[in-house]
Amino acid sequence: MDKTLDLSMNPAELEEKDIDCIANAKLKEILKNLIQQAKEQQDEPFEDKITIKFEKTLK
């Protein structure tokens, strides 16, 4: 299974449901905080881009 979560768009446009596919609780919390901060700072220009790729390898 190969799942890619592309957050290259403005995180203020994301919702928490967009990161539900992430199993790692710490990473999910970091992204929730990023989304929240982006929503609070929508007036400022957005320059950061994040792309996260998850790969599951069958053994």
Domain ranges of the chain: 2-55
31 — phi, psi (to 5°)? -70, -35
Give me the residue label for tokens 């967009």.
18
Judge whether 54 and 5 are in contact, CB under 8 Å: yes
pLDDT tens digits, 28-42: 888 888 878 877 877
Spacing of C-alpha 9 from chain mean position: 10
The pTM score is 0.50
Report the mean per-residue pLDDT for the chain: 72
